[in-house]
Amino acid sequence: MVPAPENIIGYYGFPRREDIRLARERYGCHLPLVDLDVYQGAPDSGLLGTTTCRIISNIVDNAVFYSRRLSAVIADVGEGKCDRGRHIAYLLRGMGFQVIESRITEAEFENRPLVWSRSAGTLRERVNRIMDSVIDAAPPGDTPLPCAPTHGFWGVPPHDFRILDLFPPTTHIYGWTRCVEAGRPSDLELECSIDEGVPTVFFTQSFCAKQDLAHYLAEKFGGMEVDCHRDVNDSIGGKVEAFLKLS
C-alpha cells in the first residue's frame, strides 16, 4: 500500500518564532514546515488577478496544491510582510484553511549577527541559508568569514532564483533579506541601509510596494532598480549583467 503523503505546516513571511513553536506543538512537531512563499511546482490556481505579486500568488497556489495536507498556515500579517500578506490570510481562512495570524512587533526584534549577508559565496545559497533561519534560529556551524563587497543585492528572495546566479560571490545582501537575517523583519532603517559606493541592484517583485523604496534608493545610491514578475528573461538578465560588469 502506498503510504499517504505526510501532512505539512505551511508558513509565509517571517512569523514569530513562538507562533511557529506553538503551531508545531499543536499540529505535530514531526510535520515538515514548508515556506509557502516559494514556488513548489504548484499549478496556477487562477484565484488571484494576474497583476498580483508572484510571491503572494505562490502562497495561494501552494495552499490550493497541498490542500488537505496543509494542517495549518502560519501567516505573517505584520509590517514585515505587506498588506497583501494580511489580505490573503483572510482569503485563506475563507477558503477553509486553519490560519494562524502572526506579527512580530518592534519589541521582539532580535539582533542577530549578519553572517550570510556579509560573507562571500554563492548568492543563491546564502539567501537560502538566511531564509532557513526563519524556522531554525540556531547559528550556523560553518560560519563563513566576512568579505569586502564588490556588489550588492537589495531586496526580497526572488520568485525566480536564477537572477541571483548572475551576481559574483562577493555580493553583499541588503534590504528585507538582511532584515530577516538580523531577526528584524520590519526594521525600515535597516532595510534601507546600504554601503555607499557598492554598486547595488535594487530588486523587487513586480506589483510590490517595495518598488517605491527600490526606486528611491537606486536614485540615492546610484544603483539600478530591477523588477521581475515571473521568470527572469534575457532582457532582465542582460540588464543586470551590464550593470554588474560596468559599475
Which residues are at the interface with ligand SF4 (CB under 6 A)?
53, 55-56, 81-82, 84-85, 156, 205, 208, 210
HEC-encoded secondary structure of 176-238: HHHHHHHCCCCCHHHHCCCCCCCCEEEEEECCCCHHHHHHHHHHHHCCEEEEECCCCCHHHHH
**126 interface partner picked from ligand SF4, another protein, none, CB below 5 to 8 A per type:** none
**Interior/surface letters 72-100, b for 16+ CB within 10 angstroms, e for the rest:** bbbbbbbbbbbebbbebbebbeeeebbbb
Pick one of ligand SF4, another protein, none as the site partner of residue 208 (Cβ within 5 to 8 A by kind).
ligand SF4
Q: Of 111 and 235, which CB lies nearer to another protein in the complex structure?
A: 235
Q: Residue 45 is placed in which grid cell?
A: 490556481
Binding mask 122-161 for another protein (x = CB under 8 A): ----------------------xx-x--xx----------
Q: Which is nearer to another protein, 71 or 119 (CB)?
A: 119
Residue showing cell 532584515: 179
- Interface with another protein (CB under 8 A), residue total 31
- Residue 119 interface partner, choices ligand SF4, another protein, none, CB cut-off 5-8 Å depending on type: another protein
CB atoms within 10 A of CB 196: 8
Site for another protein in 197-226 (CB under 8 A): 206, 222, 224-225
The number of angstroms, rounded, from the C-alpha of 35 to the middle of its chain's C-alpha atoms is 9
Taking the complex as a whole, the smallest distance from the CB of residue 88 to ligand SF4 amounts, in Å, to: 9
The whole-angstrom separation of Cα 228 and Cα 196 is 25
Partner from ligand SF4, another protein, none contacting 169, C-beta within 5 to 8 A by type: another protein
